[in-house]
Structure 1
């Protein structure tokens, strides 16, 4: 049976199972079992048991639930209440004024959360009522929040980078380092857009709050200092080589527990809720990763990734054309699946092609995260759009239209990353050689 027919059968099985409502992790396992049982001589049951156990017992993967728990703990502290008060006084002189609290707030929380949906929800819960009460237009407030919320994927520690690092077998510490400047670049692009919008629409920007002295601003912002120190401690311990990603995640959990204790927001209920929230999210991700690992093994035995890589190699695509094709492919796929599922579904096939084209896997990881960020704000399965719909009551098409400029900014960020690859590769080389 030729490769095209096998691939058609497996893709049809995949969409049939997904369409019937089967969990993504179980769908991946089922498709892998079908492929191995029908098209390979290796016993499917034995291979499934060995692969799933190996995937679930990966030491590198232990950083994931710890970073998730760290974000869940801080999600339940007074951080979200204090962030707006701490940031607002510094924004008054910028064109767009308090709109920038969306971007800077998401940038700060992304560095302790690692999740796009959590970043969007936390900052949105704090900023949406405040900005609405001050008279800022809903479209620019919600659109900028949708775009800035995607920073949860790019600014380390990032859950999706850990997933990519495990599936692609690349250093998570290097990926974290590679994500710093691209994350700041996207934040700068979003703030630049808000400034231009404000200058073009001065009548839609409310008047500034009363001006404060420098020391008054410092006093108002003091509640953010412990969070910034926690971020520096977690990321600094990784970049300086004092701790692995897993050890740094443990440090982050201890630090966030201490921080919430000092703030007075740590009690049995918040501890239990944060632990259960982290457990539920990690179990979902772990099941998807286990199914993806088995699917990758199954595809390897069938030989599809190798044949597909050889076929694409025979087309003679330049690296630019290959990346454009992959970007379109991931944007379309991201319209129907969440980011983690997109990555684990495709890595077995895409990585051999990327290696054959001579593309740096660390750089490609950042490229991939940026493209997946676009999918967070594209319907019908844009997770940030769902979060904002639940918080605002607005219809999904309206939110998607408000977010469209942010999508175009992310496309521009991918173009800058291609034109200047050092944005992603310079820092890992400086820190880790």
Structure 2
């Protein structure tokens, strides 16, 4: 009974603080302090100091600010602007034509960004004016950008996979490799939907630009070379074992600086802006992780994870039913919290349950990230919706509606991964 009372009180305090507009990191720390102070014999202040210091000084976490900075550098220089010129000639023959540049552009930029919002903003600034000028359907422009931009959370280097890996004490490198094939699967589903829509509504697809010869297409593809080289250098260094995730992040930062300087896009102003932008974003994430680490400790002392695991175990849910319940739970929670907050709030309770059910934590990490991806395009707290609203001026409800097909495709991807788990585990098994 004491654990049940404690869980109710902690939930009340959590909702009160979040409803009051308190920062998520401070909310987590406050809830943890309340639990330690009133439901355990351990000194709350001493435990908080030790836990927050330990979480903030983790070497594994060093990769996070570096990948954030790499994305900021690319976002604030014109390195990404070359992608449209390089991609456009190759997709004109596909049903849907230049709409595929949104999917491919998001897939490529996700490989060097790690952030869904940065992917959406960067590709959107590049593609939206071009597609509007050519007469493409506004609903399809927005939908084919909002959905694929969520790939920034999955395709390595992924900020949220680093957060999950640190929270679950899993190899970041293996998590990165586990996200590659599911990310490509999602990109394929997104492009497949665009082709299906285009075949059903051919009158809404503008005519193709002037056809180029194969040699001319190759000439235009030279604009993709810098971005592709950066992607390959980061991912190959991890996959071959030459570098850890942190070292690969350093390679990405140096590579993005070198390429930006080589293209004469790097100025002192955007260098400072990228550094300050990365610092602000990482400080927000670090505060959330520190609060989550303290909350995890507090919940362990109170005994809530053990009680929760025993309760779910008593329900005798099959692994498939457990995944369905957790999927619905995370989709619902994602409507109100951002992805990082969702993971750090729940992982200490959910992971023991998942492991007790015999589900691979590596597979579950990818499942979790994809469910969190759906939150990027669901109101009221869908980050991609806000980014698209700022660029298009459309209402959030309209943007969310045109993104619905991509939400359903992500659910389909989860079903496919359940029946074919090798899509997740194949690459990590070779490391």
**What TM-score do you get using the length of structure 2 for normalisation?**
0.99
Q: What is aligned with 2:20?
A: 20
Any conservation in 2 of the 1:79–1:224 contact (CA below 8 Å)? no
Instruction: Indicate if the aligned counterparts of 2:80 and 2:227 stay in contact, CA closer than 8 A.
Output: no
Cα displacement (A) at 1:78: 1.5
Does residue 183 of structure 1 match 2:183? yes
1:425 aligns with 2:428: no
Tell which deviates more after alignment, 98-107 or 221-230: 221-230
Give the CA deviation at 1:140.
1.0
1:25–1:288 Cα contact (<8 Å) kept: yes
Distance 2:5 2:28 in 1: 19
Is 1:43 the counterpart of 2:36? The answer is no
Partner of 2:341: 341
**SS state at 1:210 partner:** coil
Partner of 1:101: 101
Counterpart CA distance in 1 for 2:11 and 2:2 is 15
Which residue does the alignment assign to 2:275?
275
- CA shift at 1:227, angstroms? 1.2
Measured after TM superposition, the shift of residue 80 of structure 1 is 2.9
Q: CA deviation at 1:397?
A: 0.6
State the 4+ residue runs in structure 1 displaced beyond 6 angstroms: none
Provide, for residues 84-118 of structure 1, a one-character-per-residue CA deviation record: whole Å limited to 9, x for no partner.
Answer: 11110001100000000000000000000000000
SS in 2 for 1:79: coil
Residue in structure 1 matched with residue 411 of structure 2 by the alignment: 411
User: CA RMSD, aligned part only?
Assistant: 0.7
Instruction: Please give the per-residue CA displacement for 1:56-102, whole angstroms capped at 9, x wherever unaligned.
Output: 00000000000000111111222232111111000110000000000
- Indicate the residue corresponding to 2:213 in structure 1: 213
Alpha-carbon separation, structure 1, partners of 2:88 and 2:12:
51
SS at match of 2:22: coil
- Which string of whole-angstrom CA distances, capped at 9 and with x for unpartnered residues, describes residues 191-228 of structure 1? 00000000000000000000111111111121210110
Match of 1:358 in 2: 358
Measured after TM superposition, the shift of residue 400 of structure 1 is 0.7
For the 8 Å contact 1:77–1:265, the answer to whether it is kept is yes
The equivalent residue for 2:133 is 133
- What does residue range 23-422 of structure 1 map to in structure 2 within 5 Å? 23-422=23-422
Deviation at 1:405, TM superposition (A): 0.6
Unaligned runs of 5+ in 2: none
Q: Residues of 2 paired with 1:4 and 1:398: CA distance?
A: 41
Aligned length: 431
CA distance, structure 2, for counterparts of residue 241 and residue 220 of structure 1: 33
Deviations 1:117-163 (A, max 9, x none): 00001001111111111111111110111100000001000000000
Tell me how far apart the structure 1 counterparts of residues 76 and 279 of structure 2 sit (CA, whole Å). Answer: 16
CA distance in 2, matches of 1:358, 1:123: 40
Task: Tell me how far apart the structure 2 counterparts of residues 206 and 131 of structure 1 sit (CA, whole Å).
Answer: 10
For residues 8 and 86 of structure 1, the distance between their equivalents in structure 2, rounded to whole angstroms, comes to 55
Q: Which runs of 5+ in 1 are unaligned?
A: none
Whether the aligned pair in 1 keeps the contact of 2:330 and 2:372 (CA below 8 Å) is yes
Residue 403 of structure 2 aligns to a residue in which SS? helix
Contact 1:77 1:263 in 2 (8 A): no
Assess if the C-alpha contact under 8 Å between 2:85 and 2:223 holds in 1: no
Instruction: Look up the SS of the partner of 2:230 in the other structure.
Output: helix
- Preserved contact between residue 72 and residue 274 of structure 1 (Cα < 8 Å): yes
The alignment partner of 1:209 has SS state of coil
Deviations along 1:259-291, one digit per CA (max 9) or x if unpaired, are 000010111101100100000000000000000
Tell me, yes or no, if the aligned pair for 1:115 and 1:152 is still in contact at 8 Å.
Answer: yes
2: CA distance, partners of 1:400 / 1:250? 36
